[in-house]
Structure 1
Amino acid sequence: MSQTLEAGSPAGSGAPAARRRSPVAVGLAAAAVALVIVGFAASVGAFPESWNLGLADPIDRTRRWLINNQTSHWLYTVLLNPLTDLADAGIRQLESILRWFPWYVYPVFCGLGLWRVRGRLAGVLGAAGVLLIGMTDLWQQGFATLALMGVAVFLSLLAGIPLGIAAWRNDRFAGVLRPTLDAMQTMPGFVYLIPFVLLFGIGRVPALIATVIFALPPVVRLTDVGLRNVPGAMVEASEMFGATDRQTLRLVRIPAARPAILAGTNQTTMLAMSMVVIAAFIGSGGLGQDVLRAMRDIDVGEASEAGIAIVIMAIILDRFTRGVATLGERGRGQGSNAHGDGALRAADTGLIRWVAAATGVVALVGGIVGHNQFPGWLQWHYAPYVNDITAWARDNLYDIGSSGIGTGPLSDFITVYMVTPLRELLSSGIPWPSATASSSALPRWLRELLSSGIPWPAMIGLGVLGGLLARGVTLGLGIGVALFLIGWLGMWELSMDTLAQTLVAVAVTLAIAVPLGIQASHSDRFQRLMDPVLDFLQTIPSFVLLVPVITLFHVGRIPGIIASVVYALPAAVHYTDLGLRRVPAEVHEAATSFGATRWQRLRRVELPLAAPELMVAVNQVIMLVLAMVVIAGLVGGGGLGLETVNALRRSDAVGRGFEAGIAIVLLAGILDRLTRGVADRLRPPPAA
């Protein structure tokens, strides 16, 4: 038993694994140190271009072969073309059904649905939001987005719930499935599009398949977790009454796991919504296509109309699926809902049923008569006003009164003093003799050491050492191999550029989020004020965040970094707040009784005890930022993101984009496993 514990965890019985260095670990550490020393001594710089694997050329040749054989080869005629036709027919059929109903059904349906599951205020706001989408003449684009997302969610649930049940039944299958789901969740959304563009070209079908795969993990995980957490007493009672295993699953386990499964449905729906917007790059149409076209034309007003429509749709779907998931827990006729409107009264229930029945009759008549077009006299566009505000902000906020304060100086500061030095340090090197005066404060040997940046062997060695310290030999070797593969793909410079942007965005995010999380953990009122803001930021699809940022910062790396900070901020604040609130109250009382001030208690007691959750926050921030930095390639963010965007824009760049996609996955895996390993190290050993 002790051997099992020692092998599985650093906190196992006997001597801790962190103190017993195996010969393999010692040898690997020595090799890593040698790589660092040799790399700096030889000043080899970036990864040799002559070592490039050249994967892009065969991929481009494969792409050309697939294009030339789409109408004749059995792969297409027997498998892919029928699959494409079936999926496209399903999307078109759902879109036709959505277009058949009268326009007024949708605000009434959303209002009543949200009223039922979230309260009156949510119902009123939901109906108003749907009307705003129609008023901006985005009715048809909204149907296209909703149809694609609806089919994707249906297929995700159709595959995900059985996979979750299979994982619950078979631990061996679960052991294989979990790392697969980890990889799927680690991979940025853009990367999913490239292989399906390679097979299917552009259109809604590759967007659908990519969306299904991207949105699948949450429902699989939460179905598995929900079934594993069903109370044993319920199962025993079912078996005592003679129920078979299948009957117990259908009548007891699945109903008991319903809240977890519905929570997974909520997350799957939101991921599908986010991915459908991104899929506009490969011709999926819908609201994402309008945002993309407006961003290419630098028409912030039009982009804001489509972006706000996406946000409204995402918020309605999020609130509705969350409300359904928690409806049974809140109960009927007692308690209060999430917005403080009180429980749904019997009178409200009767009114909702009456209005729903009347709406159904009117909808049937209206569908037959033909009232499915949003009336033109209700339309109103606010894009011109947004463009006027944008022009004013561009002229007046870039450098306020020539004071050196504004969006321009901030952008220059982040670029000159943060992104560029870090990028050159990680790749080609910082020209220290001509750098700012601050470099003269460094010792001469250190300036000479860093004059050519961190050479690639030293970077690999540092990665191996980090993996060894975080989790052991396996992670150390994995990071070393992954870094070498990035260079072998010819993506070293671009990966270091992306890594620099990611690290800067993570640092800025944590600098803002940690103080906010600390304040939220110490003040319930502040937490209540922050929650709706953070919920709103979490609901917005990542693609849409670029719209307001390019208004103030134009195109380049900085809009991507700032949008990344906004996108990752809610997760960092929530995890910081959660970690500090989990510190036991008796620990606070003991520190206070010994005369510790609030600052001393925070610095010496609370933050060290909350360190595992804080590292989880760092992990989540890195993953979110990395996904957003890739999306920022659309607005000139450079790095791997730009190569990925080019692959989706040009058919002759698919091979290069495929290489960039693999590099993104490897970089995300390195950062994910490294931060998870550190978080595991910081967790206290389990109680005996």
Structure 2
Amino acid sequence: MSEAVAGRAGAGGGVTRAAVTAAAVVLAVFVADRLSGWLPWFGVYPAGWELPVSDWVSSVMEWLLEDAAIGGIGFRSVVRGLATLLSAPLEAGTVVLAKGFELPFGDAGVAVPALSWLGVSAALVLFAARVGGRRLAVLIFLTVAYLAFFGHWQSAMTTIASILVAVPVGLILGLLLGLAAYRQPVFERVLRPALDLMQTVPIFAYLVPVLVLFGFGPVAAVVATVIYAMPPMARVTIVALRGVPEEILEFARMTGCNRRQMTWRVLIPAARQGLMVGVNQVIMLSLNMVIIASMIGAGGLGYDVLRALRRLQIGDGLEAGVAITLIAIATERLGRALTDGSRGQSRLPRRQFGMLLAGVVALPTLAGLFWSPLAGMPEALTVSTAEYWGQLVAWVNTELYQPLNAVKSALLVHVLIPFKRTLVALPWTGVVAALGVLGYRLGGWRLAAAVCALALFIAVTGHWEKAMITVYLCGISVAIAALIGIPLGVWSAASDRVHRVTTTVADTLQTLPSFVYLIPVVMLFQVGDFSAMVAIVLYALAPALRYTDHGIRGVPAETIEAARMCGCTPRQIRYRVQLPLALPEIMLGLNQTIMMALSMLVITALVGTSDLGQEVYIALTRADIGAGLVAGLCVAFIAMMADRLIGAWVARRRAALGLA
């Protein structure tokens, strides 16, 4: 009984603190708005106070390219050497998997085809059957069949060739950085903010310096993919190594292991299960990058989607997008099977099975020299649904235009535009002060100073209005995603059958490349803020759903049983016990929803938004390094402010609930 009373008291105190904080935030904005009538700079940041940070960044990059040297070797030469080092395996993989090559025999030479589609498909199915059983083999079979019969085999192999280079580089760099951070706490304190920036700066922002340094081509695409996909491996490595039981380390010390043996023969093998999660994340993020990488020279499926989007060829774009999604899902399932250590039915030892796979790939490839259908899928056997999608577009434009346009216009007039005008009109001093109040109430002076400094950077660089438009579009999208995802997560937690369906939906939403969302959205709603909002909601919906489901299912069984013994109904248990206890987890899901919404904003710049994402995209088209990086940092700082504030609230709430 005393615990219940204490809980109610804590809840009442929480309500009081929330009310005081809300009042202080409103007061800060109101006072700043009143003062702006006498002192205009309280309302609008003066242009004369802006600092040319983008020019400084561009000057530093120019110095790096023209004058900087490492060990007497020019920085440009180092970059070119790195590009040459990456181009060799990339070209080799593309030749073997997609292009083939020519041997200089005779006058005309002998053309050697790429690996046979039939041989590669059969080998993949056999491997899947061995590591994951029949169901995984069926999934792999359906994936390779789709790639072959829909005419995407060669593009898929070009994509996989780049992935086979980017993923190992990302894994090695992430592992080494994580290991160094595990060994040196000082380095970890430096590394974490860098990883935060790498994961929150929009992808397009660092495409600009990559493009300037490495030029237009597949190598630049691989470098950008590594930068995007590597941070999760570093984070997972730190967590996995710290999770190794102390008794294992103590036993290794007692046996006389030196530092190298301790690392590579004890720590890494003991943390293998956790490290495989990082491997899976790097693969998935690399596949998510293929369309964006195609903008700076990567070919393959990403270029197919990008070309279809530019030409508004809905059917071709969806087919290529589905191909990327199937590869991502199949790879994720394959990685999960390897991580879990599950195995299908196979009596062959590992070496003999490897020889079998090599034979399965080699025989059709050699036979393809004499019979071309084995070398490549005959065009006569390929199919396409592009025509039907075109007919669907025509039907939508004629039959559904008026009702869809009515919904779009109503939301624009009554929700989006008023909210946008309100945010843009807020005084910048009031917003900064309100953020400081929130930071102080949630985490003390250090958090308040941090969020104020991040907000001031946005104002000082002249991006305040664009930042408010970004907050408006992201805020509306996150609110709608939460209104859809949280109730679905509650429903999913209450039913195993619904859980299986929602898990599949969430997996699909998270594996679809971000560009793919633009195709049906543009088809239905044309371009503009509303189309961007719909695409962001679809892309960012999954975390809200998944974290709500996970949080409710994670409530201890003894707590639920105690509520039943007190006479609570199932509805009371759900909404007065499980949801309050799961609220910290739900807020973490909301935090992830914000991160994904901000990462999608740059993509939606292609459909006519006017926020920071558009600034980053314009900088990419002009190869303006300074403008792109500064606008990208502004997006990253918005993400970091949201992350720090929500994280502080979650920590306080967990402590209040005794979950810390």
Q: Do the two structures share a fold, i.e. TM-score over 0.5?
A: yes
Query: Quick check: 413-422 or 295-304, which moved more?
Result: 413-422
| Equivalence for 1:488 | 460
Matched, 1:256 2:270: yes
Distance 1:67-1:290 versus aligned 2 partners, 3 A rule: farther
Please say if residues 66 and 199 of structure 1, whose CA atoms lie closer than 8 Å, have aligned partners that are also in contact. Answer: no
Matched, 1:397 2:413: no
Matches within 5 A, 1:250-329: 250-327=264-341
Counterpart CA distance in 1 for 2:479 and 2:26 is 27
Matched, 1:382 2:391: no
Query: Quick check: 635-644 or 653-662, which moved more?
Result: 653-662
SS of 1:559's equivalent?
helix
Counterpart CA distance in 1 for 2:217 and 2:59 is 21
| Equivalence for 1:95 | 94
Counterpart CA distance in 1 for 2:32 and 2:175 is 52
Within the candidate set 372, 375, 391, 2:375 is matched to 372
The letter of the residue matching 2:345 is L
Counterpart CA distance in 2 for 1:82 and 1:353 is 35
- Measured after TM superposition, the shift of residue 65 of structure 1 is 8.5
Counterpart CA distance in 1 for 2:615 and 2:510 is 27
- Measured after TM superposition, the shift of residue 507 of structure 1 is 0.5
Counterpart CA distance in 1 for 2:58 and 2:354 is 58
Distance 1:34-1:629 versus aligned 2 partners, 3 A rule: closer
- Measured after TM superposition, the shift of residue 221 of structure 1 is 2.0
| Equivalence for 2:104 | none
Matched, 1:134 2:148: yes
Distance 1:68-1:346 versus aligned 2 partners, 3 A rule: closer
Please say if residues 32 and 430 of structure 2, whose CA atoms lie closer than 8 Å, have aligned partners that are also in contact. Answer: yes
The letter of the residue matching 2:392 is I
Within the candidate set 416, 421, 427, 1:424 is matched to 421
Q: What do you get for the CA RMSD once the two structures are aligned?
A: 3.2
Matches within 5 A, 1:456-475: 456-475=428-447
Matches within 5 A, 1:501-540: 501-540=473-512
Within the candidate set 207, 215, 218, 2:229 is matched to 215
Counterpart CA distance in 2 for 1:545 and 1:644 is 20
Matched, 1:42 2:45: no
Please say if residues 470 and 677 of structure 1, whose CA atoms lie closer than 8 Å, have aligned partners that are also in contact. Answer: yes
Counterpart CA distance in 2 for 1:31 and 1:318 is 44
Distance 1:611-1:128 versus aligned 2 partners, 3 A rule: closer
Please say if residues 480 and 537 of structure 2, whose CA atoms lie closer than 8 Å, have aligned partners that are also in contact. Answer: yes
Please say if residues 555 and 636 of structure 1, whose CA atoms lie closer than 8 Å, have aligned partners that are also in contact. Answer: yes
Distance 1:244-1:481 versus aligned 2 partners, 3 A rule: closer
- Measured after TM superposition, the shift of residue 518 of structure 1 is 0.9
Matches within 5 A, 1:63-142: 75=74, 78-99=77-98, 100-142=114-156
Query: Quick check: 202-211 or 60-69, which moved more?
Result: 60-69
Q: Deviations over 1:73-119 (max 9, x none)?
A: 97465222222232223321221122321121222122223222333
Please say if residues 517 and 577 of structure 1, whose CA atoms lie closer than 8 Å, have aligned partners that are also in contact. Answer: yes
- Measured after TM superposition, the shift of residue 500 of structure 1 is 0.5
Counterpart CA distance in 2 for 1:458 and 1:272 is 41
| Equivalence for 2:360 | 359
Within the candidate set 647, 651, 658, 1:680 is matched to 651
- Measured after TM superposition, the shift of residue 204 of structure 1 is 2.5
| Equivalence for 2:111 | none
Q: Deviations over 1:498-543 (max 9, x none)?
A: 1101111110111011111111222222212222222122222222
Counterpart CA distance in 1 for 2:213 and 2:351 is 52
| Equivalence for 2:575 | 603
The letter of the residue matching 1:359 is V
Within the candidate set 618, 632, 636, 2:590 is matched to 618
Please say if residues 87 and 205 of structure 1, whose CA atoms lie closer than 8 Å, have aligned partners that are also in contact. Answer: yes
Query: Quick check: 487-496 or 505-514, which moved more?
Result: 487-496
**Can you give the 5+ residue segments of structure 1 that lack an aligned partner in the other structure?**
1-17, 333-342, 400-405, 428-452
- Measured after TM superposition, the shift of residue 252 of structure 1 is 3.0
The letter of the residue matching 2:531 is P
Distance 1:145-1:233 versus aligned 2 partners, 3 A rule: same
- Measured after TM superposition, the shift of residue 226 of structure 1 is 2.0
Distance 1:564-1:238 versus aligned 2 partners, 3 A rule: same
Q: Deviations over 1:187-236 (max 9, x none)?
A: 33233313323433433233222211211122222222222222333334
The letter of the residue matching 1:344 is Q
Please say if residues 482 and 670 of structure 1, whose CA atoms lie closer than 8 Å, have aligned partners that are also in contact. Answer: yes
Please say if residues 36 and 457 of structure 1, whose CA atoms lie closer than 8 Å, have aligned partners that are also in contact. Answer: no
The letter of the residue matching 2:384 is H
Query: Quick check: 143-152 or 192-201, which moved more?
Result: 192-201
The letter of the residue matching 1:547 is I
Counterpart CA distance in 1 for 2:180 and 2:290 is 28
Counterpart CA distance in 1 for 2:24 and 2:508 is 49
Distance 1:630-1:361 versus aligned 2 partners, 3 A rule: closer
SS of 1:684's equivalent?
helix
- Measured after TM superposition, the shift of residue 36 of structure 1 is 5.1
Counterpart CA distance in 1 for 2:458 and 2:316 is 39
Matches within 5 A, 1:191-230: 191-230=205-244
Please say if residues 88 and 205 of structure 1, whose CA atoms lie closer than 8 Å, have aligned partners that are also in contact. Answer: yes
Please say if residues 107 and 128 of structure 1, whose CA atoms lie closer than 8 Å, have aligned partners that are also in contact. Answer: no
Matched, 1:407 2:410: no
Matches within 5 A, 1:47-62: 47-57=45-55
**Can you give the 5+ residue segments of structure 2 that lack an aligned partner in the other structure?**
1-13, 99-113
| Equivalence for 1:8 | none
Please say if residues 35 and 458 of structure 1, whose CA atoms lie closer than 8 Å, have aligned partners that are also in contact. Answer: yes
The letter of the residue matching 1:391 is A
Counterpart CA distance in 2 for 1:30 and 1:569 is 31
Distance 1:173-1:390 versus aligned 2 partners, 3 A rule: same
SS of 1:583's equivalent?
coil
Q: Deviations over 1:334-387 (max 9, x none)?
A: xxxxxxxxx536599999779636514414524766753332222222211111
Please say if residues 60 and 654 of structure 1, whose CA atoms lie closer than 8 Å, have aligned partners that are also in contact. Answer: yes
Query: Quick check: 526-535 or 45-54, which moved more?
Result: 45-54
- Measured after TM superposition, the shift of residue 624 of structure 1 is 0.7
SS of 1:610's equivalent?
helix
Counterpart CA distance in 2 for 1:66 and 1:224 is 32
The letter of the residue matching 2:420 is R
Q: Deviations over 1:612-655 (max 9, x none)?
A: 1111111111001111122111111321111212222233x554
SS of 1:483's equivalent?
helix
Counterpart CA distance in 1 for 2:584 and 2:288 is 29
Distance 1:480-1:350 versus aligned 2 partners, 3 A rule: closer
Counterpart CA distance in 2 for 1:410 and 1:69 is 57
TM-score by length of 1: 0.82
The letter of the residue matching 1:408 is N
Distance 1:552-1:68 versus aligned 2 partners, 3 A rule: farther
Distance 1:367-1:153 versus aligned 2 partners, 3 A rule: farther
SS of 2:393's equivalent?
helix
Within the candidate set 139, 158, 170, 2:184 is matched to 170
Distance 1:473-1:278 versus aligned 2 partners, 3 A rule: same
Please say if residues 564 and 629 of structure 1, whose CA atoms lie closer than 8 Å, have aligned partners that are also in contact. Answer: yes
| Equivalence for 1:3 | none
Please say if residues 33 and 461 of structure 1, whose CA atoms lie closer than 8 Å, have aligned partners that are also in contact. Answer: no
Please say if residues 521 and 578 of structure 1, whose CA atoms lie closer than 8 Å, have aligned partners that are also in contact. Answer: yes
Within the candidate set 618, 622, 627, 1:650 is matched to 622
Q: Deviations over 1:575-625 (max 9, x none)?
A: 111111222223223333333333333333222211211111111110011
Please say if residues 468 and 475 of structure 1, whose CA atoms lie closer than 8 Å, have aligned partners that are also in contact. Answer: yes
Within the candidate set 134, 140, 154, 2:168 is matched to 154
SS of 2:289's equivalent?
helix
Counterpart CA distance in 1 for 2:177 and 2:58 is 34
The letter of the residue matching 2:48 is S
Please say if residues 281 and 648 of structure 1, whose CA atoms lie closer than 8 Å, have aligned partners that are also in contact. Answer: no
Counterpart CA distance in 1 for 2:510 and 2:432 is 35
